[in-house]
């Protein structure tokens, strides 16, 4: 069997598994967020934090809950790292430097999981499990809560109430993420992913000799890093490490975990707004982009030119032989079209066009299918923009799901779209202009520019993957990428929740013969075009200086 055929079979198996899980999981999450019942463990949590889950919140109160909870998370995780050397379970590792502790705290609370440290050489068991793994759960639950609040904005009318943040946070963690993580962790352990609290010990190597490695609760952290589209890794090699991702089956299973909730949330959306076809339209848009990017990545990596590439059957540099080009390409597209950031290969070693595909996947806004929660609300904002553009074409006030898209709504949507590109391009320009950050590049020319562009794109879009080849463990990069991660996560949430509140206050508009049908293939095509054109106009000059120039030169 050829590598190309094996890649196609992996893609078909992945699509089949996602299709089987789509309906039951999507319907289940709709019931979770619509239920009025609170389980006993949830009530204990509410009492512990002093929250009343029955109190409905308008968007400013919901936003205050999001920001307050996240701010406490940043402070807690920063303090845990700064005190690591004095805490049990440190494995003898010293406390983390202030700038790196800030970067890591911002990263994990923002669901980015960018890492400027070597995991197995810096973080002990307590920080890994009590700090980083906890944030993997709750940061994902925050994203899901904000997405559900926006869906309620479309579903409700004549009220500004969007639900209760604390209830949505707890339910998303206890009823969705925890059960799926338990099952997923058992599968990973069965595949050979380690799960222990062993200290530093000698491990034999295939080529002879031994090397020191520390154990850890890797399977339980690996499953939520993928399921919650967090990213990062217990070890520096991330999902290329055999302790995290040992077999081709575990690799495909981890890609499945990355895509599972973001795709299924479209079913949740359709169920909660009372129109499943609207969910299918969003699903189709996400699916078309994902399949197109996957196909392009497979093509460019298998079609690499040169004697070495022809002998290897494609561009194998930087890829694990146990996964091959197909498994690496599937993983790379899944991780950059979502806000995951886990990697099983060296993105810097991809072909010029392959590296550009990973960059563009993040620059789309990570909405195909995007991060847990963030992908859905990002796609819904794009849907509002697409409806507005269609309304301009026919000279009619745009409507979406029975809500008029007026001046306020389109301003909020536009602000959402502008925040991340402004952060990426401004920080990239500053880093290229100043001598110290530019000195961190190990490559010059177009590839070196791509390294810095990738770093800020990954940070501001809350992805967390790295192009590699860039020394990001400096005060400049730790500080500026940390700021980009926090602003890139929470500023868009401000506009999303304000948009949700504005929509929830409206009266429903009756559908007429002139209403644009947003549950049809024509609209899905318009939405795909809107996404590609807006992203292309925003990022094309930067992409032309980096991966496009490198790809054309090759």
Domain boundaries, the chain: 372-553
Q: Which of 325, 184, 200 is nearest to 258 (CA)?
A: 184
Distances (CA, A) of 437 to 318, 355, 442, 481: 25, 21, 11, 12
Distances (CA, A) of 219 to 161, 244, 289: 39, 7, 30
For 59, the token pair is 């968007």
For 362, the token pair is 């993040």
CB 139 within 8 A of CB 111: yes
Report the pLDDT value the prediction gives residue 461, as an integer from 0 to 100.
94
- pTM confidence score: 0.94
- Bridge-based pairing state of the strands 399-400 and 403-404: antiparallel
Angle between the N-to-C axes of helices 248-272 and 178-191, in degrees from 0 to 180, rounded to the nearest 10: 160
- H/E element, 393: helix 374-394
| Burial letters 210-246, b for 16+ CB under 10 A, else e | eeebbbbbbbbbbbbbbbbbbbbbbbebbbbbbbbbb
Question: pLDDT grade, residue 2 (50/70/90)?
Answer: low
Q: What's the rounded mean pLDDT across residues 234-251?
A: 91
Question: pLDDT grade, residue 104 (50/70/90)?
Answer: very high
pLDDT over 70 (residue 58): yes
What span, in angstroms and rounded, lies between the C-alpha atoms of 517 and 374? 25
Cα 167 to chain centroid distance, Å, stands at 23
Biggest CA–CA distance in the chain, Å, is 75
pLDDT over 90 (residue 52): yes
pLDDT in tens, 120-141: 788 889 999 999 999 999 999 9
DSSP state, 132? I
Question: pLDDT grade, residue 264 (50/70/90)?
Answer: very high
pLDDT in tens, 469-483: 788 888 999 999 999
Length of the chain: 554
Only one residue has tokens 């602003």, namely 487
Q: Which of 506, 503, 500 is nearest to 66 (CA)?
A: 500
Distances (CA, A) of 268 to 23, 108, 226, 278: 9, 26, 20, 11
């Amino acid at each position: 069997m050829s590598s190309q055929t094996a890649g196609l079979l992996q893609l078909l198996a992945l699509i089949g598994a996602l299709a089987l899980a789509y309906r039951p999981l999507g319907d289940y999450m709709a019931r979770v967020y619509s239920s009025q019942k609170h389980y006993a463990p949830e009530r204990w949590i509410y009492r512990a934090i002093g929250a009343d889950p029955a109190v409905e919140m308008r968007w400013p109160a919901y936003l205050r809950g999001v920001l307050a909870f996240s701010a406490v998370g940043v402070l807690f995780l920063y303090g845990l790292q700064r005190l690591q050397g004095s805490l049990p379970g440190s494995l003898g590792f010293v406390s983390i430097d202030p700038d790196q502790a800030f970067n890591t705290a911002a990263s994990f609370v923002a669901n980015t999981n960018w890492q400027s440290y070597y995991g197995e050489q810096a973080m002990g068991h307590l920080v890994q499990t009590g700090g980083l793994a906890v944030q993997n759960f709750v940061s994902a639950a925050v994203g899901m809560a904000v997405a559900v609040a926006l869906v309620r904005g479309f579903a409700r009318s004549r009220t500004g109430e969007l639900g209760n943040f604390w209830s949505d946070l707890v339910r998303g963690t206890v009823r969705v993420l925890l059960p799926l993580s338990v099952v997923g962790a058992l599968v990973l352990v069965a595949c050979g992913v380690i799960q222990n609290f062993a200290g530093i010990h000698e491990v034999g190597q295939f080529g002879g000799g031994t090397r020191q490695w520390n154990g850890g609760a890797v399977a339980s952290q690996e499953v939520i890093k993928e399921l919650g589209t967090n990213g990062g890794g217990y070890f520096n090699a991330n999902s290329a490490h055999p302790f995290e991702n040992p077999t081709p089956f575990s690799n495909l299973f981890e890609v499945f975990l990355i895509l599972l909730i973001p795709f299924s949330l479209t079913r949740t959306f359709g169920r909660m707004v009372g129109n499943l076809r609207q969910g299918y339209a969003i699903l189709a848009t996400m699916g078309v982009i994902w399949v197109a990017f996957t196909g392009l990545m497979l093509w460019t990596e298998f079609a690499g030119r040169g004697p070495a590439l022809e002998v290897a059957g494609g561009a194998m540099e930087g890829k694990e032989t146990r996964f091959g080009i197909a498994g690496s390409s599937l993983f790379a597209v899944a991780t950059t079209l979502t806000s995951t950031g886990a990697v099983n290969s060296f993105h810097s070693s991809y072909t010029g066009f392959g590296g550009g595909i990973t960059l563009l996947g993040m620059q789309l806004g990570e909405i195909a299918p995007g991060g847990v929660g963030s992908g859905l609300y990002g796609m819904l904002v794009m849907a509002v923009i697409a409806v507005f553009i269609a309304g301009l074409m026919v000279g009619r006030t745009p409507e979406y799901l029975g809500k008029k898209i007026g001046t306020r709504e389109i301003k909020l949507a536009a602000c959402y779209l502008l925040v991340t590109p402004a952060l990426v391009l401004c920080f990239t320009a500053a880093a290229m202009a100043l001598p110290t950050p530019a000195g961190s590049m190990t490559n010059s020319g177009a590839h070196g520019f791509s390294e810095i562009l990738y770093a800020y794109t990954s940070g501001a879009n809350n992805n967390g993957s790295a192009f590699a080849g860039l020394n990001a463990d400096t005060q400049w990069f730790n500080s500026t990428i940390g700021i980009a991660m926090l602003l890139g996560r929470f500023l868009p949430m401000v506009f999303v929740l304000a948009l949700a509140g504005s929509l929830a206050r409206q009266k429903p508009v009756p559908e007429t013969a002139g209403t644009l049908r947003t549950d049809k293939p024509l609209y899905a095509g318009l939405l795909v075009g809107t996404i590609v054109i807006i992203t292309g106009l925003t990022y094309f000059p930067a992409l032309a200086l980096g991966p496009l120039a490198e790809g054309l030169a090759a």
